[in-house]
Amino acid sequence: MTTSASACLPEYHEWEDYLGAKDDKSIYLRKCGAEARNLHFGKRVFVRGVIELSNYCRENCSYCGMRRDNRTLSRFRLQRDRIVQMIECGLPPSITDLNLQTGEDPRVIEEVVLPVVQYLRTHTTLGISLCLGTLDSSVLNSLRSAGAFYYILKLETGDEDHYADMSAPGTYKERMGAIYSLVSSGWKVSSGMILGLPRQTSKMAVETLRLLTQLPLSGVSVSPFISGDETPFAGKSSPEASSVIHALALLRLANPQRIIPAVSALSLLGNDAYGEALEAGANLVTINLTPAKERDNYLLYKRKRFIVDDKKVRDVLHKADLEPSQTSMAEHFHP
């Protein structure tokens, strides 16, 4: 293997082949991804907590169990005091950043998210990430002024017609505009895609990966499509775990400096797939802190989610010969 990780980056016209790589080619790509991560971040992996605050959603994405047409779902909103109490009771010591995540639920922003961000900024040194969907710029400015710095807004597919076909939020152009607008107003922005979505061709998948490499992002993710029982895509098949790992390695090689998570959904495709993401270049793991009762109704795909806890993180990092970063993502970007 070459010692220059960037020299491993295949030409774009080869990416489709690399997604389905086998044997030596697969091993080579994964090693290159890990090497690129190690060159930029060493053996250190960011450990973030996530609290899922609300599963109300005004959107109707075909691939998501929290879509507004799912009338069978019990909806919840966590309250500020409960979240503060959780934080005051103590978080796993490896956590340096906290992500607050919701469906598209404008009501929860002022009532809960903003007060929690203000509490975190006043009482902790945690970096604050948000994943709240499309919001007005005035609301985003309030959250940024309160201390949040990182915003996750997924694209899911980089094909305009496919985006509309998936009933994803707004239009494709609006989503792209929202990503650029976040970046230009000072947020560090992460986006990402779902690999294996129904009606996604391999050409579309590669074009989406390519688009993600070209956007002005600080982070990027690739998640496998997992069919939700309570969605129009119930029963549709998932991609091979290896193709998701290969996509992650390609994203790492194309943009070695980005934050790239190992996503928990990978574990539904194979016992080792979550750890394999770390062995192919991921540098972020997320511990789920949502209370168990509400967590069961945070239905991004199936009820049977794979929940990453503190022990799982320690085990998987140890196995991959990696260690938790002592530096938060916030300090990494704003030293």
Task: List residues binding ligand SF4 (CB under 6 A).
Answer: 57, 59, 61, 64, 66-67, 103-104, 133, 169
Residue closer to ligand SF4 (CB basis): 38 or 62 = 62
DSSP state of 259: B
Q: Find the shortest distance in angstroms from Cβ 204 to ligand SF4.
A: 19
Ordered alpha helix ranges (H), 48-159: 80-89, 106-108, 114-123, 137-146
Q: How far is the CB of 59 from ligand SF4 (least distance, A)?
A: 4
Judged on CB neighbours under 10 Å (0-12, 13-18, 19+), 39 is middle
Nearer to ligand SF4, 192 or 219 (CB): 192
Of the candidates 256, 262, 275, the one whose C-alpha atom is nearest the C-alpha of residue 222 is 262
Assign residue 270 a region (left: φ > 0; alpha: ψ between -120 and 50; beta: otherwise).
left
Nearer to ligand SF4, 33 or 169 (CB): 169
Which residues neighbour 210 within 8 Å (Cβ) at sequence distance 6 or greater? 12, 15, 158
Q: In the complex, what is the shortest distance from the CB of residue 298 to ligand SF4, in angstroms, rounded to a whole number?
A: 9
- Min dist CB 58 to ligand SF4, Å, is 7
How many whole angstroms separate alpha carbon 300 and alpha carbon 294?
13
133/257 Cα distance (integer angstroms) = 25
Residue nearer to ligand SF4 on the CB measure, 106 or 147: 106
Nearer to ligand SF4, 25 or 236 (CB): 236
The DSSP H or E segment spanning 188 is strand 188-195
C-beta of 261: minimal distance to ligand SF4 in Å? Answer: 16
